[in-house]
Chain A
Amino acid sequence: MTGVRATLAVCRYEFRMQIRRRSLWITIALVAGALAAGRFGMGPRYAPAPPGAPAREVMTRWAFLFSVILPIAFGMALADRLLRDRRLRTAELLASLPPGPAGRLTGTFLGGVAATGAPALAAMLVAAGYETVRRGDLTMIPWGLAAFAAVLAPALVFVAGYALVCPLVLTAPLFRVLFVGYWFWGNVLLPATLPTLTGSLLSPIGSYAASWLLGTPVLYAGIPGPLPVLRPEPTGSAAAASIALLVVAGLVPLLAVGLLRGRRRTA
């Protein structure tokens, strides 16, 4: 069996198992619902776009509204995926099957990311459907998908890499606690208060992508702070660089674990 087929098999079943978790759907529905209901009291940045605003702006506002909290739910939901095989006592059987650890890891990552992203995508589509009906503009749906891809998906990939790997060292409950702390430190806290990555290319809240889609800086994109090289003007190319950096940074821990497991298997 080729590595690709093994990876696809793992991806398929990881997706199936993760998507069946009721807690994932309930959490994301509650968080998305609470954000949608509470956005009028969250300040002008999160308020609905004014009447007549283009679909691009309307749906980007939805995406960055969701990106404030939803990635925390992604991290919570993915924190046990690699530990689970050990906890459920299936790791020994999987280790006795021909596919190597790299294929299993990649499959778990892809399946986990796809399944965890599905409820968030559903939330975006519900928002797009609502705006389509309210504003009578059918382009809300493609712009909803585009905003999801640019703002939320890179955050999901970034968070997934660390949420899968860190609990192997920290345990899942401890990771979850630390992750919530990280999220507010690295995305919300201003650099003037404490050295933080808020407003940088490595901020997974999606500030650069949202700023580019809206045509105006939002979510502190480019705010002065430590590592100025990571804080360019929020342009299209900066947004692309931010997306690429987030994806690569999310893959780094997976690569490290893959190499480590591969070496252990060879030993």
Chain B
Amino acid sequence: MDIAITGLRRSFGRVTALRGVDLTVRGGMFGLLGGNGAGKTTLMRIMAGVVAPGSGQVRVGGYDMTTRSGRRDVQRRLGYVPQDLGFYPDLSPREFLDYVALLKGLDDVTARRRQVGELLDMVGLADVAGRRMKGFSGGMRRRVGIAQALLGDPALLIVDEPTAGLDPQERIRFRTLLAGLAGQRTVLLSTHIVEDIAQTCHDTAVLAAGRVVYTGSVTDLTRTAEGATWQMTTTGAPPTDGVVVSAVTREGGTQYRVISQARPSPDATSVAPTLEDGYVALMRRHTPAPAV
């Protein structure tokens, strides 16, 4: 399912969340990166038909999201995992999925039950399918979230911050699950965790202050920091020229990883950048300099 967005703007009262977004997504797994308040969630909500676009053009799978009928058409083909998805504590995962399936229009009882069972099995919740969700852990709830999104075999899957708050093992499991789903559909993954994009997406876009500041491959984003990624060990003060990406205390001093156009210190060595370095370098370019 292709997505084509041009000049998208959206405000909530006096707050402008999106300031003219242009973005094209052509199937597969696509990552959306950006800091808090960059506009990712608003963009996701617009594509999920929860919020109407303010101005500009948004076409998802050819459907015009500025119209009510277009949003309804997309919602019939959509699986959505909102950023902060809650559940009905009195329902079991099986009941919750059955409820969502009914609302998605899966009217055939046998087919619905079979699909609910298969999805619970796929996300590893078959053993607790009949237990009320009251006592479920964050990871278990996320898995119910992804299972409900897959009901009806949607052509578009929108997943907003799916791994926030999960332990490393659950995160890896979740990422693998998502990557496996992208083969047959468009998966839009929004996150501020760079590692999730690095491990799952070929293409990505970066949002900053309501605008798309990068769109392209993950490899090219990584290259943004080529020749500007440095590593140095010192017992003195941290380098002031550039952005410190990491600091690890070792014997003989603290090892810093720094993004800087100029060598931050004579003993700093140039190293190969990671996606996180590329992201930091890009954001540095698009962050306004502090007023003097």
Q: Which A residues lie at the B interface, using CB under 8 A?
A: 1, 5-6, 9-10, 12-13, 16-17, 20-21, 88-90, 92-99, 265-267
Cα(A266)–Cα(B86), bound, Å: 25
Residues of B within 8 A of A90 (CB): 85-88
Cα(A97)–Cα(B105), bound, Å: 9
Q: B91 is contacted by which of A5, A9, A13, A93 (Cβ under 8 Å)?
A: A13
Q: A13-B99, A89-B86, A92-B85 are contacts. A5–B72 as well, Cβ < 8 Å?
A: no
Cα(A21)–Cα(B91), bound, Å: 12
List, sorted by A's number, 27 A–B pairs whose CB atoms are closer than 8 Å: A1-B104, A1-B107, A10-B103, A13-B88, A13-B91, A13-B102, A17-B88, A17-B90, A17-B91, A21-B90, A88-B88, A89-B86, A90-B85, A90-B86, A90-B88, A92-B82, A93-B80, A93-B82, A93-B100, A93-B148, A95-B50, A96-B48, A96-B50, A96-B80, A97-B75, A98-B75, A265-B52
Main DSSP-derived SS at the B contact region: loop
Residue among B75, B89, B103 with the highest chain A CB neighbour number at 10 A: B103
Q: A13-B95, A13-B99, A17-B88 are contacts. A5–B68 as well, Cβ < 8 Å?
A: no
Within 8 A of A (CB), among B64-114: 68, 72, 75-76, 78, 80, 82, 84-91, 95, 99-100, 102-105, 107
B: interface residue count bin? 20 to 34
- Quick check: is B49 within 8 A (CB to CB) of the other chain? yes
**B72 closest partner in A (C-beta):** A98
Inter-subunit contact A9/B88 (CB<8 Å): no
Residues of B within 8 A of A92 (CB): 45, 50, 82, 84-85
Inter-subunit contact B76/A98 (CB<8 Å): yes
Residues of A within 8 A of B82 (CB): 89, 92-93, 96
Cα(A20)–Cα(B91), bound, Å: 10
